Amino acid sequence: EIITAEGQTPQVSWLEIATTGKARTAIRRALRVVDRERFIKLGHELARSAFEHVGRKATDKVLETASKHLRLSGADELLARLGSAELTSHDVVQAVYPELARDEGEKVPLRRAVVGLQPGQSFERAPCCRPLPGERIVGITFRGKGVVVHAIDCERLSVYEDQPDRWVDVRWHPGTHPAAYDVRLEMTITNDSGVLGRICTLIGEKKANISNLEFVDRKPDFYRLMIDVEMRDVEQLHSLLLTLEADSDVAAVERYREKSQARAPAPVEE
């Protein structure tokens, strides 16, 4: 009897156990489809953030127009290339709004990073989701403390669903942020000489700084790590993740977010 799991998709490791060329070809084809869908989804988020940065919206019409200017087959190809880092957000915006596209905007100090706060009000990034500039955010007020900023899809927000008076409509400043926002990555890498050092070098080459590294599990064949990295924005994070995913010694890497309930942090002072 052959037992199958619902929703199972082909894995790269299947290529090592496939015994026929036909099977390996089918696996590679399925993997390409999965990768393309993932890149399109990621491209959507990057495009949304990039166009919001210049005060515009990434509508279907805008994306189709950009794809024509870039001589691509359509919006899906544009988004797939954007999500796989073959195109940059700047390339896409410039294709439609060349007068608005900028390599650098206003340099934003940390105390002015979030727009929508009251004068003198302080803020803190929630440690559960650690939102980055470029991501959609929402604020939750704490009396006498300020505003705790969460990513819009943070699971912790469900705690405040029955307290609408505490929600604040905020957004990231559209300018250029410093690489001062930490984000946690969970990684599984090969346990081999020089691998960890090379991975750290890769992170540095992407202009990201490692602020903390912790071994979660050590096995003869692999290490599982938690790495805190200081980033500029969500686009830099996506670029780093793509680079790490492509490395042959990285078995898995993903952004880590806490899911258990915890008290909100105290805000930073302005």
Predicted TM-score of the model (pTM): 0.66
Domain range list for the chain: 14-96, 110-172, 181-255
Confidence (pLDDT) at 267: 43
The residue count of the chain comes to 270
* Euclidean distance between CA atoms 175 and 110, whole angstroms: 11
Instruction: Report, as ranges of residue numbers, the positions in the chain whose pLDDT lies below 70.
Output: 1-19, 21-34, 99, 101-105, 260-270
**pLDDT value for 90:** 83
* CATH entry, 181-255, from 3.30.70.260, 1.10.10.60, 3.40.80.10, 3.40.50.300: 3.30.70.260
- For the four alpha carbons of 260, 266, 269 and 270, in that order, the dihedral sign comes to positive
| HEC sequence for the chain | CCCCCCCCCCCCCHHHHCCCHHHHHHHHHHHHHHHHHHHHHHHHHHHHHHHHHCCCCCCHHHHHHHHHHCCCCCHHHHHHHHHCCCCCHHHHHHHHCCCCCCCCCCECCHHHCEECCCCCCCEEECCCCCCCCCCCEEEEEECCCEEEEEECCCHHHHHHCCCHHHEECCEECCCECCCCEEEEEEEEEECCCCHHHHHHHHHHHCCCEEEEEEEEEECCCEEEEEEEEEECCHHHHHHHHHHHHCCCCEEEEEECCCCCCCCCCCCECC
Q: What is residue 169's predicted lDDT score, i.e. its pLDDT?
A: 94
